[in-house]
Amino acid sequence: MILACSTCSFPRDRLEIAIAKVAWAGFRGIELEFAGEPPAEEWLRERLRNNELVLVTIRAGELGAGDPEATLARSAEIGRLAQLAHRLDASRVVVTAPAHGEFAALTEGLRMLLDALQAIQSEVAVANAAGTLVATPDDLARLRRAVPSPRHGFALDPAAAIRVGWDPADASHWPCRPTLVYLTDVRDGATVPPGTGEVDWPRLAAVLRRAGFDGPIVLRLGGAPDYAVEPAAKEARVAAEEWFEIGWR
C-alpha cells in the first residue's frame, strides 16, 4: 500500500511545481494528469527521480462511447498514455466513462484498449464518476460482466459514490476489489478535503483492509482555500496514514 497524490490537487501550478508539491507534502507516490500533450518522457523521468517519487498511475481521461472512429481514436490516446506510464515503471492508467454515449460502444472501446495493451500487461482501471455512464454499482457490475478481463481494474472514488447515493464502504457495491482508491470527500454536494465531509474514512479504510486491498491510495484534493492547499494535502496524508495504519508496524 502506498500513499500518492495527484498533480490535479494543485491546479494553479504548472506541472513541475505540482510534482514538487506532491513530494513536499510527504507522499511517496504520484498520479500524473496532463492538461494537454504530456511532456517528454525524459523530462518526466528526471522530475520523478529528483523528487524521489514513484509513479502509480496516469489519469488518462475518458473512454470513448460514440461512433466507432471516435472511440478508436480515444482508445489510441489512452493507449499512448499507458505506454508512457509503462516506460516510467507504472502498470496502470485510470479512466472514466463519458457522460453520454452508447454503453455497447464503451465496452467495445475498453476491450480494444485492453487488447492493444496486452504486450505490456497494463491495467486500465475504470473509476466511478457521477454523471457518467459508469456512476452506480449497477453500471460498474454491467461493465465488469461485459469486459471481465483481469486487467480491467476498478478505481474507487468514494466522493463520487456519495454524490449519486451509494455507500463506498459497502463492499457489495464493488464490481471487484478496488485496485486503486481515491482519497476524496464531499459535503452537501461540494468537494471538500478528506475527513471533513460525508465519507466515513475510518470505516472505509477498515473495510478495504479486510478485503485485502493493497493498492495505491491517491489524493485528489479539492475544496481547500487557495492559500491552504499545500497544508491541506499534508494533513490529508497524515490522516490517511492513521486510517490505513500505514507505518504502524
Sign of dihedral through CA atoms 14, 48, 91, 42? positive
Pick the residue with more confidence: 70 or 161?
161
Q: What residue segments make up the domains of the chain, in order of their start?
A: 2-243
Q: How confident is the model over 162-205, as pLDDT tens digits?
A: 999 999 999 999 999 999 999 999 999 999 999 999 999 999 99
Q: Which CATH superfamily is domain 2-243 in?
A: Divalent-metal-dependent TIM barrel enzymes (3.20.20.150)
Q: How confident is the model over 28-55, as pLDDT tens digits?
A: 999 999 988 999 999 999 999 999 999 9
What integer pLDDT is reported at residue 71 of this predicted model?
82
The cell for 213 is 486491498
> What is the pLDDT confidence band of residue 249, given thresholds at 50, 70 and 90?
very low
Task: Check: pTM over 0.75? Answer yes or no.
Answer: yes
Bridge partners of residue 3, in order along the sequence: 217
> What average pLDDT does this structure show over 152-169?
97
What integer pLDDT is reported at residue 41 of this predicted model?
97
What integer pLDDT is reported at residue 65 of this predicted model?
77
